């Protein structure tokens, strides 16, 4: 998640009453270290304000790590039943759908997890370089296309947010977490950093001046599925 994206979600969540927001499920949360140290703006602009409001936030990821409250696979029916039993009023899913083979399947699952009347806060890159984690399908939808994945939900807010360039991203990491700069430029393989090849550098170079953009969306689920 990039800083303008995190600020956008922080603003829209602030306007939602507690009774319509909590409990909240954060899907693809990664670890607390990622949220608070590697990309600390996620914690600062999104989750710290939610914590101050005192509402329940549940972080879920496919891997069990520190700061992950529930670990499981969203395509596993048993895990889905567990999530549905918690009756979430809202779901956050950012920068995940471009990393799965069937985004429509994950989107339909999230629409099932949130209670009728609840909200889904979703983002996907709109203009952003290839970034496998472990894959990148290059799914880059606009607002309406992204919303179409979620059955029984209507758009409440949607915007393609400008998020700076590769240069501003690198400066951001230098300011917040200097060690993460290598993680942006260098591929990782088996937990190790590897020097970027010529093709990787050639791909990234235009992004030093071309603006990143992210499709940010707030949906509200109305119908029973």
pLDDT digits over 138-190, tens only?
Answer: 999 999 999 999 988 999 999 999 999 988 888 877 766 655 555 555 544 43
CA end-to-end span of the chain? 30
* 3-164+213-221 has CATH 3.20.20.70 classification: no
pLDDT tens-digit readout, 75-127: 999 999 999 999 999 999 999 999 999 999 999 999 999 999 999 999 999 99
DSSP letter assigned to residue 180: G
pLDDT at 219 over 70: yes
The pTM assigned to this predicted structure is: 0.88
pLDDT at position 202 is: 76
Is 70 exceeded by the pLDDT of residue 209? Answer: yes
Cα–Cα distance, 94 to 1 (Å, whole number): 7
Alpha-carbon gap, residue 182 to 185, rounded angstroms = 5
Q: What are the extents of the domains in the chain? A: 3-164+213-221, 166-209
Q: What proportion of the chain, given as a percentage, has pLDDT over 90? A: 73
Burial zone of 87 (CB within 10 Å; 0-12 exposed, 13-18 middle, 19+ buried): exposed
Q: In the numeric block, which tokens belong to residue 174?
A: 């230098």
| CB 106, CB 83: distance < 8 Å | no
């Amino acid at each position: 998640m990039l800083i303008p994206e995190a600020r956008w979600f922080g603003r829209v969540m602030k306007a939602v009453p507690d009774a319509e927001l909590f409990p909240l499920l954060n899907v693809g949360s990664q670890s607390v270290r990622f949220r608070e140290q590697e990309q600390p703006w996620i914690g600062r602009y999104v989750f710290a304000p939610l914590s101050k409001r005192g509402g329940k936030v549940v972080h879920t990821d496919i891997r069990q790590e520190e700061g992950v409250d529930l670990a499981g696979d969203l395509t596993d029916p048993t895990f889905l039943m567990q999530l549905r039993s918690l009756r979430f009023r809202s779901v956050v899913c950012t920068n995940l759908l471009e990393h799965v083979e069937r985004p429509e399947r994950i989107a339909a699952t999230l629409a099932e997890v949130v209670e009728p009347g609840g909200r889904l806060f979703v983002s996907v890159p709109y203009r952003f370089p290839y970034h496998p984690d472990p894959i990148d399908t290059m799914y880059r939808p606009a607002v309406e296309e992204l919303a179409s994945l979620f059955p029984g939900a209507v758009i409440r807010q949607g915007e393609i947010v400008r998020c700076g360039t590769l240069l501003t991203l690198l400066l951001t990491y230098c300011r917040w977490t200097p060690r993460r700069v290598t993680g942006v430029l260098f591929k990782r393989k088996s937990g190790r950093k590897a020097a970027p090849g010529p093709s990787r550098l050639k791909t990234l170079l235009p992004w030093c001046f071309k603006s990143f953009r992210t499709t940010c969306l707030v949906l509200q689920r109305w119908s029973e599925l």
